Structures are given as structure tokens and as C-alpha cells.
Chains A and B, each alone.
Chain A
């Protein structure tokens, strides 16, 4: 029972990370295409300036929680995905630094370079995250001791000895790219005005259609790669509410965009990310990391969960701490609510 609880607490933190850092990653991709003038760029970046760092904290908080609640999973997955994770770290570094430098260096060629680095690093991170999730859903070649080491790619097929990249995980990366680009576009519709917001708004419906199409493809592919993903749904049929939620969220994005209700559109996109991730977690439960080398090697919740004292101690501070954290987030977002006004940025 306490294992079930911690499984979902970690899942909620991952959803929190994707929903929050997701829009600033998406904005990072979009600003390469949407911004025509220097003012556009400054407005776009100002819309994420005060919040991107706090959004990224969700990654650390989720990672830390995963670490103490499921140490074996943390140890196995982080060492097994060694090479791609190191690249993720490098990309996170480049992205953060290029955003920061841009505020300080105002020479044309440097700015163009930094904008390019920021946009490309954002896009690459999104693709990595999507592919990472797909790797977990597909499974990895676990040894008997619970460890593995994956090459970047092998024969591009999700067989017993796959690579990080194969046709299935590439689909995962593309779903993430379309979903978070759309998420970023919706954020810009909420936060900006004028021609910039119009350009973002015009992107929403085409992206929404693409997302619907690739979502269907990815669901089909997931069932083909790991048929057991559906077991939980058939055992507890009311959980088919999750795919219904995905469809409803996508419709919401479309509908509210036509009605020019941007905040609701953005919230629909949050809903889409929530239902997709929750649905993936539910498809896995109670497995945490499936083995392609035989189900008896799966890292299951029972195998990876920490001892009872650890979890009790964790529970004692976690609820309080996260309530505080959500409080800060609400406070900051409310202080910076409304459209970005360049004149009031800074001092």
C-alpha cells in the first residue's frame, strides 16, 4: 500500500516537471521560428525568465524522491542510461547558460548563436525525455542483478537487445516534441499579445492535429511493443477514463483555441500531459522497469521499494515540503501573471 502511494507520488512529481518545464522547453523550440524582431525575442524569453529555474527544480525534487523511495531503480536506470543522461546534463547546462548569457551579451552574432543553442538544446532535451520514457515502457536488457548498460542504438528494433534509440523510442521522442511545442505555443498565447501571440495562435490547431495523429500511432505502437501495458486497464475497466481524458484534453485545446480562451487551452494541454503520463505509469504498474530479457528480471515495485522506516520518515516531511513548494509556485506565478510587459521587466 505504501509502495502504491510512493509510486504515484513520484509519478505526480514527474508530471509536475513535464507540465512546468515543458512549456519553457516548448517556448525554447518555438522562439526559433516565431520571433521576427528583437522585441519579440525579448518578450518571449521574458515570459519564461522568472520561472524556468523553478520549473527545473521539479526535475531535481522528482529525482531525489525517486532516489530514496526506489534506490534500486534509481541506481539501475541512471547507470544503465549513462551515455544519454550525460548528454541530457550537457544540454541542460548549455540551455541554462545560453539563456542567462543572452541577458548580458547584446551583440548581434553572439545573440544569434545563443538563441540557436537555446532552441536546439531545448528541442534535443524534449526528444531525449520522450525517448527516455519510451525506453522505460519498452523495457531494457536487465541482468540478473538488476543492472544493464544500453548502447545508443543497435538495429533500431525493440527486441531483446535494443538500443536507446529504435523505431519505437523515436516515436516517443516525436510525441514529446509535438506535445511540448504545442504546450509552449499555448503558453505564449496566454502570455504575449499582438502579432507574436497571433503567430503562436495560428500554430495551435495544426500542432493539435499532428499531436492527435501521433498520439494514436504511439498508443498503437506501445501496445504492439508491450501488450501487457493493457492488463491494468482490462482488470480495472474504470481506468479507461485515462484515454478518454486524453481525447477530451486534445478536444479542449482545439475548442478553446477557436473560442479564444487561451488560459483554458493551456490548462487543456496540461491535462493532456497529465493523462498521457499517468496512463503510461498505470500501464507499467506494479513494474517500474520491465526487462526485455525475461519478466522474472523486471524491476518491480516490491523489489525496488525502500524499507518501511525510510518511507515513513519520507512521508513525514514530503507532504509538508511539497505544500510549501506549491505555495511558492502559486505566489510567483501570481506575481508575474498577465501579459508580459517589457517595460516592467527588471529593475
Chain B
């Protein structure tokens, strides 16, 4: 294995594992604000306890997100030194801003939210929940800005020593690529949050206990879920996809498996790209659909891979194709499921429709897969570039760190993260099985209500 591949895997593995946690915390932060707002407005202690329960789940995810997030900032330097040397002046800025503008805010108010409820007023506690939400969404913004500059470099200049520098603070932050991806990504986080919340509600009802909490979880989860599941496709996914098509033709051609340029290009729903023959094996195609989705007319020509020099094709073509199709396929399932559940909720039948509850429960891992596949689509689509059009991936990794040293620490991370995954599962299992009235203090408070 080459050093380049090891360093790519190193980053890919650690960031994929890391992003399992923030996607839930960012989505959940919004839903906790909803729970706290209802509690504040109605004075209903059940909603407060529901918020506290999700606060515990949030807290566990947050800590796992923090400890797996620190390596990410380090790895820019440890594994991607040559890239960092030339681009640090640009992408170091949003990374530093994330720490300064988001993490300080988030950690301060999370401490208050989790440990300070007895010390502050109800309004202040609600406010700390809002600030945790704001902090976590700002954090997501700066990470997307960082990635957006690699995908679609803007507002830069190149110094004589080869380093990039930023020309405009606002243009860097307002990179259109970043804004589109930010909306798409944050809605994706809400999808994860709402599916997890609904699944816990469904689990409690299927077990036949804690009905009053289950109803809250399902109500909030399904309403947020239906809005987010629609918004992930339209408008956010649609806009992001069109922007990719215009700016990264090789990426969109590979995502769609379009080897040959075509007027009235069809959309491949399923199939396997065959790099040798330049065809899709056993495709299922919707005629003209791709031209329509990208350009709004069925006759438009879409650029195929044949018009792009082979050394600029994404390096992992089938993987990119599968990742994109898994994301899009799951997105379709989310809309269908949530529309049905929202309809049942409106008719007052959701709480007794066991088949729908089972579907909600079993679907909770799917947003994690879809979000991961979405990020793989974006980052594999960028290949073979590290900074699109400016620096190749093969020019960016640390060449003082040998393949074998990289493999050693990659295996180390794999082992450690396996352990972390087990511990996380145990902790979440305990929280969910002890429930919102888990500790004796809470149970007493419930009796006193």
C-alpha cells in the first residue's frame, strides 16, 4: 500500500467515525430547543424531563464528538503536512474560528445546561439550550467553509513561495459552495436527530411503557422528520447537486455513472459502473431524467466522462457511484416513511400502528449511513484533487511519515475506536433503558407532580 493511500484512509476513517457523533448533536440541539421551549411556555414538567433525558444523550454524544474531533485538527498537520504548508493560511482560519467562535460558546453553555439547572432560572436554562444549539451549528458552518474552499477555492492568491493566502474574509465565509452544502448538511443532521428521537419513542411504545414520553418523542421527531426529509431533497439537495454539476462535471458524471455525453441523458437508478468497458452493468434507467434534474429540460446535454481527460476522473469511481446512490435512495425512503408517519400522527393513529413504529425503530441507523454516504460523495467527487483544480491529493500528504508509520497509527485508531464504539453503545443503552425517569430523584419528582 502506498503512503498516499494510507494517509487518505487515516483521515477518512477517523473523520467518518467522528461524524457519527456531531450529526446527532447538531440535529438534537435543535430538537432540545423545541422541547425546552414547549416546557417553558406551558410549564409542563414532563417536557422538561424529556429535554433533560435528551440532554443526557446529547452530553454523551458531545463528549465522544469532542474526543474524536481533536484528532481531526491534528491530522491536517500530522498526515497532510505538505497540504497544510501551502494552504494553512486559508483553511487554518475557519478551523481556528471554529474553536474561537463555536467551541468556547458551546462548552460554556453545555456545562451550564448539564450541570447548572439548579443554579440558574428556567429562562436562563432555556437560553443555555439555545446557545448550545447556536454553538454547534456555528461549528458545522466553519467545517463546511473549510471543506468548501478545498472543493471550490475562492478569494485566494498564491505567494511566490507557493503558499495560498486569503484575500477576503467575507468571500471565504460566503463561498456559494459552502452555503449550499451547509444547508444540505445541517438538514441532514436534523434528519438523524429526528429519526433517533422517533425511534426511541417507537421503542418505548412497542415495549408498552413510558407512553407519555414516547408520545412527545414521536410528535417532535416525526414533525421535524417530515420537514427535514423533504428539505434534504428539495430545495437543499437539488441546489447542491446542480452546483456540483456546473462546477465539478467529472464528479457529477461519475456520481451518475455517465460515461458518454448525452443530450437527454437518462438517470441510472441502479447498476454497477464498469471502468474497463466504460459502461454501466445491468442498469435500470429513467430516460431523460438526468438532463431534466440538472438543467431543467429533458433535452439538455450532460457532459460525460468521455469529455474529461482520464487523469482527472475521480479515482474511486464505483465507490463514488454507490455512495451517491445509497444517499439518494435512502433520502427517498426517509420522505416516504416520514410522510406516512406524519399522516398517521395527524389522524391520531401513529401511537397504535405497530408496523409504523417498527419501521421507525428499524430506520434509525439509516440517516447515519446516508450522511456518511453523502460526505463520501462530496469528498470522492473532489478526487483526484485535494484543492480542486489547484493541488492533487498525491502532492499533499506528509512524505516524512512513511506508509508503515501511518498504518501503525491507523490500526491504533481502529482498535481504540472499536473500544469507544462499544462503550458508547453501553452508555446509550443504559440511558434509553433507564429512561427519562431513570434516577430515583426524577422518579420521586414524578410522584410529586
On whether the beta carbons of B81 and A96 are closer than 8 Å, the reply is no
The answer, yes or no, to whether A75 is at the interface (CB within 8 Å) is yes
- Give the chain B neighbours of A314 by CB distance below 8 A: 93, 96
Q: Which of A61, A65, A69 contacts B104 (CB 8 A)?
A: A61
The answer, yes or no, to whether B231 is at the interface (CB within 8 Å) is no
- Give the chain A neighbours of B85 by CB distance below 8 A: 71-72, 74-76, 146
On whether the beta carbons of B71 and A53 are closer than 8 Å, the reply is no
On whether the beta carbons of B157 and A309 are closer than 8 Å, the reply is yes
Alpha-carbon separation in the docked complex, A76 to B78 (Å): 8
Q: Which of B94-138 contact A (CB under 8 A)?
A: 95-101, 103-105, 107-112, 114-120
- Give the chain A neighbours of B100 by CB distance below 8 A: 61, 64, 317-318, 321-322, 324-325
**Stretch from A80-88, A171-179, A230-238 that touches the partner:** A80-88
B173's closest neighbor in chain A, by CB?
A: A317
A17 to chain B, nearest CB (A): 11
The answer, yes or no, to whether B405 is at the interface (CB within 8 Å) is yes
- Give the chain A neighbours of B114 by CB distance below 8 A: 50, 346
On whether the beta carbons of B99 and A64 are closer than 8 Å, the reply is yes
The answer, yes or no, to whether B332 is at the interface (CB within 8 Å) is no
The answer, yes or no, to whether A332 is at the interface (CB within 8 Å) is yes
- Give the chain A neighbours of B168 by CB distance below 8 A: 313
**Stretch from A97-105, A245-253, A255-263, A290-298 that touches the partner:** A97-105
- Give the chain B neighbours of A104 by CB distance below 8 A: 60, 427, 430-431
Q: Mark B390-414, 1 if CB is under 8 A from A, else 0.
A: 0000000011110001000100100
On whether the beta carbons of A65 and B96 are closer than 8 Å, the reply is yes
Known: A60-B73, A63-B73, A90-B412. A83 touches B430 (CB 8 A): no
B186 to chain A, nearest CB (A): 21
Known: A57-B104, A325-B100. A147 touches B81 (CB 8 A): yes
Known: A61-B104, A83-B405, A313-B166. A93 touches B416 (CB 8 A): yes
The answer, yes or no, to whether B167 is at the interface (CB within 8 Å) is yes
- Give the chain B neighbours of A344 by CB distance below 8 A: 118-119
The answer, yes or no, to whether B64 is at the interface (CB within 8 Å) is yes
The answer, yes or no, to whether A129 is at the interface (CB within 8 Å) is no
The answer, yes or no, to whether A316 is at the interface (CB within 8 Å) is yes
Q: How many residues of A contact B (CB 8 A)?
A: 68
- Give the chain A neighbours of B76 by CB distance below 8 A: 67, 74, 78
On whether the beta carbons of A329 and B104 are closer than 8 Å, the reply is yes
> Binding site of A, secondary structure by majority: helix, strand, loop or mixed?
helix
A61's closest neighbor in chain B, by CB?
A: B99
B36 to chain A, nearest CB (A): 13
Q: How many residues of B contact A (CB 8 A)?
A: 75
Alpha-carbon separation in the docked complex, A294 to B116 (Å): 55
The answer, yes or no, to whether B293 is at the interface (CB within 8 Å) is no
On whether the beta carbons of A79 and B401 are closer than 8 Å, the reply is yes
Alpha-carbon separation in the docked complex, A69 to B110 (Å): 30
- Give the chain B neighbours of A146 by CB distance below 8 A: 85
A271 to chain B, nearest CB (A): 23
On whether the beta carbons of A79 and B81 are closer than 8 Å, the reply is yes
A257 to chain B, nearest CB (A): 29
On whether the beta carbons of B405 and A316 are closer than 8 Å, the reply is no
The answer, yes or no, to whether A267 is at the interface (CB within 8 Å) is no
The answer, yes or no, to whether B239 is at the interface (CB within 8 Å) is no
Q: Which of A60, A85, A90, A94 contacts B78 (CB 8 A)?
A: A85
Q: Which of B98, B115, B167, B431 contacts A50 (CB 8 A)?
A: B115
Alpha-carbon separation in the docked complex, A1 to B447 (Å): 67
Q: Which of B91, B119, B401 contacts A335 (CB 8 A)?
A: B119
- Give the chain B neighbours of A64 by CB distance below 8 A: 73, 92, 95-100
The answer, yes or no, to whether B67 is at the interface (CB within 8 Å) is yes
Q: Which of B74, B89, B103 contacts A57 (CB 8 A)?
A: B103
- Give the chain B neighbours of A307 by CB distance below 8 A: 89, 157, 159, 163, 165
On whether the beta carbons of B400 and A148 are closer than 8 Å, the reply is yes
On whether the beta carbons of B400 and A149 are closer than 8 Å, the reply is yes
The answer, yes or no, to whether A68 is at the interface (CB within 8 Å) is yes
The answer, yes or no, to whether B5 is at the interface (CB within 8 Å) is no
Q: Mark A37-66, 1 if CB is under 8 A from B, else 0.
A: 000000000000111011011011101110
- Give the chain B neighbours of A93 by CB distance below 8 A: 67-68, 70-71, 416, 420
Q: Which of A316-347 contact B (CB under 8 A)?
A: 316-318, 321-322, 324-325, 328-329, 331-332, 335-336, 344-347
The answer, yes or no, to whether A203 is at the interface (CB within 8 Å) is no
- Give the chain B neighbours of A147 by CB distance below 8 A: 81, 399-400
Q: Mark B158-178, 1 if CB is under 8 A from A, else 0.
A: 010001011111001000000
The answer, yes or no, to whether A170 is at the interface (CB within 8 Å) is no
B287 to chain A, nearest CB (A): 49
Alpha-carbon separation in the docked complex, A317 to B98 (Å): 12
- Give the chain B neighbours of A149 by CB distance below 8 A: 400-401
Alpha-carbon separation in the docked complex, A63 to B103 (Å): 13
A70 to chain B, nearest CB (A): 8
25 contacts between A and B (CB under 8 A): A53-B107, A57-B103, A59-B70, A61-B99, A64-B95, A67-B73, A67-B92, A67-B96, A68-B88, A68-B91, A74-B76, A74-B77, A82-B400, A96-B66, A97-B64, A100-B63, A101-B427, A104-B431, A146-B85, A147-B400, A306-B165, A309-B165, A316-B169, A328-B105, A345-B115
Q: Which 4 A-B pairs have the closest CB atoms?
A: A78-B77, A71-B88, A68-B92, A64-B96
Which B residues are within 8 Å of any A CB, using their own CB? 52, 59-60, 63-64, 66-68, 70-71, 73-74, 76-79, 81-82, 84-93, 95-101, 103-105, 107-112, 114-120, 157, 159, 163, 165-169, 172, 398-401, 405, 409, 412, 416, 420, 423, 427, 430-431, 441-442
